[in-house]
Amino acid sequence: RPRVLSGIQPTAESFHLGNYLGAIRQWVALQDDHDAFYFVPDLHAITVEHDPKTLAARTRNSVAQLLALGLDPDRCTIFVQSHVSEHTQLEWVLGCITGFGEASRMTQFKDKSARQGSDERVTVGLFTYPILQASDILLYQPERVPVGEDQRQHVELTRDLAQRFNSRFGKALTVPQPYILSGAAKIQDLQDPTAKMSKSASSPSGIVELLDDPKVSAKKIRSAVTDTEREIRFDPEAKPGVSNLLTIYSALTDRKISELEAEYAGKGYGDLKKDLADVVADFVDPLQERVRTYLDDPAELDRVLARGAARAREVAGATLAAVHEKIGFLPPT
C-alpha cells in the first residue's frame, strides 16, 4: 500500500474548518487504502512563544479531535512528534544541506517572523521550521503528503532536499508529492475572505472552530463578510465571501456548488448563512460529543499514542540509519 504522511499543529484549543476541509478529511479517506502516518508536531508548536502549561493539554486535545474526526488507530499510525527523537536527528543532517538563502525564501517564515514584531523575538527554531517539516516527511518515505494549499512550498522544499541528498550521497529518501485537493484546499477567513482561515493570523470572528458552541459559529457565519450584490453565485474573484460560504457548504454536505447555486437562486445571503450554520451545527454536535468521550479516557489515548510511537520509531529508525550510513557516520557498535 502506498504510504502517506501528514501532521497538524497543537497550537490552538480547537482545529478549525480549514484544517478539517483542507487536510484532515483527506487523511480519513486515505487511511483505507494507504499505509498512513499522522502526527501532532509539538516540536513545531514551540517555534513561537508558547505556554508550557497548556501545550500537553492541547496535544491531547488534538489527538482526541483527530480520533473524533475519523482517524482509526487500527487503520493508521497516530503519534506525537516529540515521542520520536529521529525527527530532530534527521533535521540536523537536512539542515546541513539546506542553503541559508533557500530557507530565507520560505513565505510562511517571512509572514510569521514579520508578525513577531522585533527580530529578537524571531527564533532560530522558526527559521529552521521547514527543515524539521522536511525531516518529519522524509523519515517515513511517503509517496504523498496530504495538506492544504498553504503547505505547498514546504513540501516543495522537502522534495528538493530529498533529491539533493540522494544525488550527493546515494539514494536513501523517497521524493514525495504534495496531495492537495482543488476546492477545499484553501478555506478563507469569514471576516477577510481574501486571506486564509488561520489560527495564528485572523481575528477569532473569522474562524469557525470545530469545538466552538454551534451558536457562536452561527453568529460568526451570520456576520461573515459578503458583498453588496444579492446574487448567490460562485465567483472567488468578484465574490470571495459568498464563494467561501459555498465552498464550505458544498464540502460539508458533499453537494455540488452548481446544485447549491440553483437551490439558492432568488434567495438572499441571510438564507444561505442560516442554512450553512445549521449544516455546521449538524457536523460539530456529534463531533464534540466524541471528542469529550476520548478526553474522558486518557489511558486509552495514551495506549493509542504508545502504539503509534512504536510503529513510527521502527520506520523512522530505519530511514535514519540509512541516512547516517550514506553520509559517512561511523556506525555505533
Residues that constitute the known binding site for L-tryptophan? 136
Contact call for residue 178 and ligand TYM (CB under 6 A)? no
Residue 267 beta carbon to ligand TYM: minimum distance, rounded to whole angstroms: 26
Binder of ligand TYM out of 4, 80, 147, 221 (CB under 6 A): 147
Nearer to ligand TYM, 134 or 291 (CB): 134
Q: With binding defined as CB under 6 A, does residue 247 bind ligand TYM? A: no
Q: Per CB under 6 A, does 273 bind ligand TYM?
A: no
- Which residue among 4, 22, 80, 252 contacts ligand TYM (CB under 6 A)? 22
258 Cα distance to chain centroid: 28
Spatial separation of the C-alpha atoms in residues 135 and 213, rounded to whole Å: 37
Annotation says 199 is catalytic:
yes
User: Nearer to ligand TYM by C-beta: 157 or 185?
Assistant: 185
112 carries an active-site annotation: yes
- Does 18 bind ligand TYM (CB under 6 A)? Our answer is yes
Helix intervals (H) in 12-123: 17-19, 25-30, 42-45, 52-68, 86-95, 100-104, 107-115
Rounded Cα distance between 47 and 44, Å, is 6
- The gap between the terminal CA atoms of the chain, to the nearest Å, is 34
Three-state SS letters, 177-231: EEECCCCCCCCECCCCCCCECCCCCCCHHHCCECCCCHHHHHHHHHCCCCCCCCC
Catalytic residue among 186, 196, 239, 273: 196
At which residue does the C-alpha cell 495564528 appear?
Answer: 200
Q: Which residues have CB under 8 Å from 150's CB, separation 6+?
A: 108, 186, 196, 198
Examine residue 128 and tell whether it contacts ligand TYM (CB under 6 A).
no
- With CB atoms as reference, the residue minimizing the distance to ligand TYM is 22
Report how many helices (DSSP H) and strands (DSSP E) the chain contains, helices first: 14, 5
Give the Cα-Cα-Cα angle 15, 191, 268 (nearest 5 degrees). Answer: 110
Work out how close the CB of 122 gets to ligand TYM at its nearest, in angstroms, rounded to a whole number: 17
When asked if residue 23 is in the footprint of ligand TYM (CB under 6 A), the reply is yes
Distance, in Å, from the CA atom of 3 to the CA atom of 176, rounded to the nearest integer, reads: 10
Catalytic annotation, pick one of 112, 186, 220, 273: 112
Contact pick of 41, 178, 206, 240 for ligand TYM (by CB under 6 A): 41
Q: Check if 219 is active-site.
A: no
Q: Which residues are catalytic?
A: 112, 196, 199
- Enumerate binding residues for ligand TYM (CB under 6 A): 6-9, 18-19, 22-23, 41, 44, 133, 136-137, 145, 147-148, 150-151, 185-187, 196-198
